[in-house]
Amino acid sequence: MTGPIAGERPADASLPVAVAQFSPAADAAANLQTITALVTTAVSRGARLVVLPEYSSFFIDPFDSSLAENAEPLDGPFVQALTALAREHDIVVVAGLVERAGDDRRVRNTVVAVGSDGLVATYRKLHLYDAFGQRESDWIEAGELVPPQVFSHGGLRFGLMTCYDLRFPEVARTLVDAGADAILVPAEWVRGPLKEHHWRTLLHARAIENTVFVAAADHPPPLGVGASMIVDPQGVEIAAVGTATDVAVAHLDLDAVERVRRVNPALRLRRFRVVAADGIPAPLDSGSA
């Protein structure tokens, strides 16, 4: 989905973006109360776009049937509440939603980008976390292969992905090929041996290899690693949160993307591409290892 919600991109485009870190609970009303407070704080610090974690609408560990019981449609109360927040502050809010799926047991792990008029873009997690002893696919329905989810705001173009997708570099590359200047990553990056190292390394790598900004919001400990951050196109952390419930804000300057790409034209010099048909990422061959 491409959904411009701003005018033509000015030559000196710069947009204050926030990552807001918190631990969503198995209480939708409490989550919205926390989100409202974090968004208000982010706006007070100048943010015009706020990124919240994966599963912001509802989260329980371990997963159980309450996940499906608390799933919502895209026009449900969670998105309506985000729309009201976005309208009140004239911003865009990006957050993880437990969305209703096609059956009564599984749900969709969805990211929504919401402006003052409602949904701007929707992304359903492609790569489910069946790794490190976890099986997200027992409870989550994987997203279909659709065109990259890119939208415009404040003169920049933003792409959406979720958490485990970071381990698949082709996802970020398809977003950049669709015009993204920045990649937004709501996450619940589960703690474990070397997991914080993986988190930081992958966020930096996706920024460096694609010469884009990356803004990622995680759950804090004890379940997540925290370390929500914004990384610039050279892989430098320009704003970050530690392990607390908090907000970090950075200015995303389009000129920085263009400057880095003049010095480091890796995208232009590459000899391999992610093959797509009609803008839709091609599925893996069933015989692939």
pLDDT digits (tens, 9 = 90+) for 214-259: 999 999 999 999 999 999 999 999 999 999 999 999 999 989 999 9
CA 171, CA 193: separation in Å to the nearest integer? 25
pTM: 0.90
Q: For 37-66, what is each residue's pLDDT tens digit?
A: 999 999 999 999 999 999 999 999 999 999
Is 237 labeled as catalytic in the residue annotation? no
Domain hosting residue 102, numbered range = 14-270
The answer to whether residue 215 sits within a structural domain is yes
Q: Which long-range contacts (CB under 8 A, 24 or more apart) does 73-80 make?
A: 73/99, 73/100, 74/99, 74/110, 74/112, 74/119, 74/122, 77/28, 78/28, 78/32, 79/112, 79/114, 79/118, 79/119
Please provide the average confidence, as pLDDT, over all residues in the chain: 90
The question of whether 195 is a catalytic residue gets the answer: no
CATH number (domain holding residue 184): 3.60.110.10
Helix (H) or strand (E) holding 247: strand 246-253
Is residue 41 situated within a structural domain?
A: yes
| pLDDT above 60 for 174 | yes
Percent of the chain whose predicted confidence (pLDDT) is above 70: 90
- The residue from 72, 125, 136, 188 that is catalytic is 125
Residue 163 within a domain? yes
Which pLDDT belongs to residue 2?
Answer: 44
Hey, what are 75's tokens? 């026009």
Q: One-letter amino acid identity for 267?
A: L
Q: Please indicate whether residue 54 is annotated as part of the active site.
A: yes
282 found inside a domain: no
pLDDT digit string (tens) for 15-34? 999 999 999 999 999 999 99
> How many domains, the chain?
1
Instruction: Please choose, from the candidates 150, 78, 97, 163, the residue with its C-alpha nearest in 3D space to the C-alpha of residue 120.
Output: 150
What's the CA gap between 120 and 110, in Å, rounded? 13
pLDDT of residue 10 exceeding 80, the answer is no
Q: Would you call 272 helix, strand, or coil by DSSP?
A: coil
- In this structure, is residue 97 part of a structural domain? yes
Residue 147: pLDDT band (50, 70, 90) is confident
Identify whether 3 is part of a domain: no
Residue 7 has what pLDDT?
A: 41
User: At residue 280, does pLDDT exceed 60?
Assistant: no
The pLDDT tens digits of the residues spanning 69-90 come to: 999 999 999 999 999 999 999 9
Mean of the pLDDT values across residues 269-287?
A: 60
Of the residues 72, 141, 163, 188, only one is catalytic, namely: 163
Lowest mean pLDDT segment, chosen from 99-108, 154-163, 251-260: 99-108
Tell whether 8 is covered by a domain: no
User: Domain for residue 279, yes or no?
Assistant: no
